[in-house]
Amino acid sequence: MHRLRHCRGLACVFSPSAQSALKLKNNIPLASCSGLVSYCWGSRSSHQGQSSYYYSSWRPRLRYVLMSLVAGTGAVVAYGLHQSERAAAAVPQTVSLPVYTQEEVMKHCSLDKGIWVTYNGDVYDITDFVAIHPGGNRILLAAGGALEPFWSLYAVHRQEHVQEILSGYKVGVLQAEDCKKQEAANLVDPYSTDPPRHPALIVNSLKPFNAEPPPGLLTDSYITPSALFFTRNHLPVPQVDPNKYRLKIEGLPSGTMSLTLNTLKSNFPKYTVIATIQCAGNRRSDMSKVKPVKGLNWGFAAIGNATWSGARLRDVLYHCGFGPEVAAKARHVQFEGLDCDVTGMPYGVSIPLNKALSEEGDVLLAYEMNGEELPADHGYPVRVIVPGVAGARNVKWLGKVVISEVESECHWQQNDYKGFSPGTNWDTVDYKSAPAIQELPVQSAITQPVDGSLVDRRMEEVNVKGYAWSGGGREVVRVDVSVDGGKTWHVAKLRDNGEDEFPAPSPQPGRAWAWKLWEIAIPLPEGAEVLEVVCKAVDSSYNTQPDSVPPIWNLRGVLCNAWHRVKVKVN
């Protein structure tokens, strides 16, 4: 008896059927599902077709692989399965396999007819794998065609163990002529036009590019230099000609409006905010130490503080005709980037309308970062800056703004960047049950001393430095630091944009967008051989960081804001 699982997070739901192959409900054409992605783990399904690789035979191995595999948005993974056995059900290499034409492969592009793909001249029937693909049914985009363009986009797949999994689904080979055609097409690397990067960056993923600076550099400067600002790209960096650039505004009574870069710069007052942007996955590596999670293995430097200048989104919206008529119905502002996947699907998310419209929300259509044109990696020519809100909503290479009654339907709004209980696993997760991450919780981390370093006992003191920030414009009002693992606490000195003698005036409540740097010299406890240095910040709502990671662990490894801990030896 096979129990088919209902993937609650999917708009396209796999219908339970004991006899048939997995089907999309109502036979929705696959193409229409391209924007709908979910992660369906551990589905138990059978397929009576020619490649009957039962879930049961995969189970022990998949359990391990799936825990360490990473979603299809270009994330990097530590497979942790270097010596895995080959799939039990894999077709033996010695068996002579049928030869298929590209045309024949293309016919297998639905769950009804089976999902076939080609890779490196071989043909695979991955129908059974669809439901357990770590990247969700985004895999269906490749149905009937070659995997190479997608694996170029999501380079995480280019690993031995992924190919090993694939090999279990091999059903034939592609005829030589079609192989040649594919090879010619596959020569184009979508990342070939990505910009050069600073060599100091620690790269988490090259394609798409995801990197953070060495954390020690963060606290050297209140304003993070653009070249060292963490980069979180979901797709290749788009090439944008500033003269041809148009920002489209939709959902207003006047229809689609189209603004040139020059219009944005000339027709609207220029505002500047200092705002910290943090990736919702910052410190994921702390979470994956507890239990594997899915996502880029960020350290604690996926955060930076910059000066952003541009037109206010609210000014542009009112200019384009936003008024009471729209306000009566609209609730969200959707953003689309100019960065697209191979099917032309752009990066997209949304924010609540009241954040976009509020004078105190300070949402900018920024064309400058730290007083200069936006760098290519940070959204040239225009990035929406949504202060106090997760990096994912600060859409780079902004192409479109849509006023809407509903949230963005895109993957990154609906099926990613959400938080779940530690008790939620890939079998029970329901993406609809959690709100999209907008404001981030209070955060802090220690940039000095470095974990594992030595402190000289003769110094009598240990100097501790770090950053602290909170979402929603809530100012960090205190940072507590401990060198005994949290038994006793000292209050750090906070540093803002001003000088010591002339600190910057406190921002209006709810508009504290920038981080605080902090430092403190703490006397070495007598006789201590190891210091467990810990920090926790408190914001203006007196929210503070949770003590430990396990109770906030979540399967996507987002929102890691437990006390940051560093161990050093005294010698």
- Which of residues 147 and 494 has its CB atom nearest to a copy of itself in the complex? 494
- Which of residues 257 and 468 has its CB atom nearest to a copy of itself in the complex? 468
Rounded to whole angstroms, the Cα distance separating 545 from 543 reads 7
**Which one of 421, 426, 484, 519 is in contact with a copy of itself (CB under 8 A)?**
421
* Count of other CB atoms within 10 angstroms of residue 91: 16
Residue of 12, 40, 109, 279 marked active site: 279
Is residue 427 involved in binding a copy of itself (CB under 8 A)? no
Is residue 480 involved in binding a copy of itself (CB under 8 A)? yes
**Which one of 74, 134, 149, 441 is in contact with a copy of itself (CB under 8 A)?**
441
Pairing of strands 364-369, 303-312: antiparallel
Q: Smallest distance from the beta carbon of 490 to a copy of itself, in angstroms?
A: 6
Is residue 354 involved in binding a copy of itself (CB under 8 A)? yes
Pairing of strands 170-174, 99-100: parallel
Task: Note every long-range contact of 215-221, with CB atoms under 8 Å and residues 24 or more positions apart, other chains counting.
Answer: 215/299, 215/300, 215/301, 215/445, 215/447, 216/447, 216/448, 216/450, 217/301, 218/301, 218/303, 218/304, 218/447, 218/467, 219/447, 219/448, 219/465, 219/466, 219/467, 219/517, 219/519
- Which of residues 257 and 442 has its CB atom nearest to a copy of itself in the complex? 442
Whether 314 sits among the annotated catalytic residues: the reply is no
Q: Is 96 exposed, middle or buried (0-12, 13-18, 19+ CB in 10 A)?
A: exposed
H-type alpha helices, 402-469: 411-414
- Which of residues 474 and 495 has its CB atom nearest to a copy of itself in the complex? 474
**Residues 363/223, Cβ–Cβ less than 8 Å:** no
Q: Smallest distance from the beta carbon of 567 to a copy of itself, in angstroms?
A: 18
Quote the tokens at residue 313. Answer: 């989104």
Q: Smallest distance from the beta carbon of 24 to a copy of itself, in angstroms?
A: 29
Q: Smallest distance from the beta carbon of 541 to a copy of itself, in angstroms?
A: 4
**Which one of 183, 360, 372, 405 is in contact with a copy of itself (CB under 8 A)?**
360
Q: Of the ranges 22-30, 146-154, 339-347, 472-480, which one interacts with a copy of itself (CB under 8 A)? A: 472-480
- Whether the link from the prior residue into 208 is cis, omega within 30° of 0, is yes
β-sheet bridge partners, residue 530? 569
Q: Smallest distance from the beta carbon of 532 to a copy of itself, in angstroms?
A: 13
Counting every residue written for the chain, the total comes to 571
Whether 197 sits among the annotated catalytic residues: the reply is no
With CB under 8 A, what is the number of residues at the site for a copy of itself? 46
HSE-CB of 220 using CA atoms within 13 angstroms: 11
Smallest CA-to-CA distance from 331 within 350, 348, 312, 359 is with 350
- Which of residues 316 and 512 has its CB atom nearest to a copy of itself in the complex? 512
Q: Smallest distance from the beta carbon of 290 to a copy of itself, in angstroms?
A: 12
Is residue 435 involved in binding a copy of itself (CB under 8 A)? yes
For 308, the enclosing helix (H) or strand (E) is strand 303-312
H-type alpha helices, 215-319: 215-218, 261-266, 284-288, 313-319
Rounded to whole angstroms, the Cα distance separating 155 from 151 reads 5
Residue of 154, 191, 367, 417 marked active site: 417
- State the binding string over 313-352 for a copy of itself (x if CB under 8 A, else -): ---------------------------------------x
**Which one of 183, 373, 451, 547 is in contact with a copy of itself (CB under 8 A)?**
547
Whether 12 sits among the annotated catalytic residues: the reply is no
* Residue 446, phi then psi, degrees to nearest 5: -100, 120
Whether 133 sits among the annotated catalytic residues: the reply is yes
Whether 564 sits among the annotated catalytic residues: the reply is no
- State the binding string over 380-419 for a copy of itself (x if CB under 8 A, else -): ---------------------------------------x
What dihedral angle (degrees, nearest 10) is formed by the CA atoms of 137, 138, 144, 149? Answer: -150
Q: Smallest distance from the beta carbon of 569 to a copy of itself, in angstroms?
A: 24
Smallest CA-to-CA distance from 249 within 260, 238, 234, 235 is with 260
What's the DSSP call for residue 144?
T
- Which of residues 143 and 538 has its CB atom nearest to a copy of itself in the complex? 538
Write out the binding residues for a copy of itself, residues 497-536 only, by CB under 8 A: 508-510, 536
Q: Is 452 exposed, middle or buried (0-12, 13-18, 19+ CB in 10 A)?
A: exposed
- Which of residues 359 and 529 has its CB atom nearest to a copy of itself in the complex? 359
Q: What Cα–Cα distance (Å) separates residue 514 from each residue in 39, 232, 382?
A: 35, 19, 20
Q: Smallest distance from the beta carbon of 529 to a copy of itself, in angstroms?
A: 22
**Which one of 16, 42, 375, 486 is in contact with a copy of itself (CB under 8 A)?**
486
Residues recognised as catalytic: 133, 157, 232, 279, 417
- Residues found near a copy of itself in the complex (CB under 8 A): 352, 354-355, 358, 360, 419, 421-424, 434-435, 437-442, 471-472, 474, 477-478, 480, 486, 488-491, 508-510, 536, 538, 540-548, 551-552, 559
